[in-house]
Amino acid sequence: MLIPLFSRPSPTILIAAWIWWEPNWPQTALLLGVEVNPGAYNLEEELRRFEANVKAGAEFAITQPLFDVDLLVAFLARTREFAIPVIAGIWPLTSFRNAEFLVNELRVPIPEAYMDRMRDADSAEAAEAEGLAIAREIVERVASHSRRDPGEHSHGPVSDSNRCSARLNSRAYRLDRD
């Protein structure tokens, strides 16, 4: 199963080890995942790659940083036939400059209302608090389209990822496609 995934170009392949404990025996299962971008400028190409990766054996997908839940909902509707879990990547913004970088350099779509809120933050502390508030709102919107599933995933600057994750107090959700 690994051969088809690594023998051709793919956006990003994620390999995750899921460890769980049986009464006297630890077991590890290897899960293959792919990165998806519901806000890709060329959505048709992104959908084609997603389909090819699922057919090649991908078992889950995780989104790039997600700020527009409507793009995710539309992506899920278009990928309804593929029954793999999709994990929404939530990135707490830390400043207006951070938001601008995501939009201009990484081409991550961020709604103008969120950009305005980050622009209006008058200090670093206020910007961080606003970024976390936005992330919580996104988690709630994602939750309204999903079933709860254990775990969590949040993006963030590497040095702040544990703090962002703990303060966001997010949960992962299995996203419904209907």
CATH class of 36-175: alpha beta
Given this model, what pLDDT does residue 104 score?
A: 95
pTM of the model: 0.70
Name the 3-class secondary structure at 10.
coil
- What band does 123 get if pLDDT is binned at 50, 70 and 90? very high
- What band does 30 get if pLDDT is binned at 50, 70 and 90? confident
What do you get for the CA distance between the two ends of the chain, in Å? 29
Report, as an integer, the average pLDDT of 97-117.
95
**For the segment 36-70, what is each residue's pLDDT rounded down to a tens digit?**
999 999 999 999 999 999 999 898 899 999 999 99
Please, what is the Cα angle at 103 between 101 and 105, to 5 degrees? 55
Per DSSP, the residues of 51-102 read HHHHHHT--EEEEEE---HHHHHHHHHHTTT----EEEEB-----HHHHHHH
Of 134, 139, 109, which Cα lies nearest the Cα of 46? Answer: 109
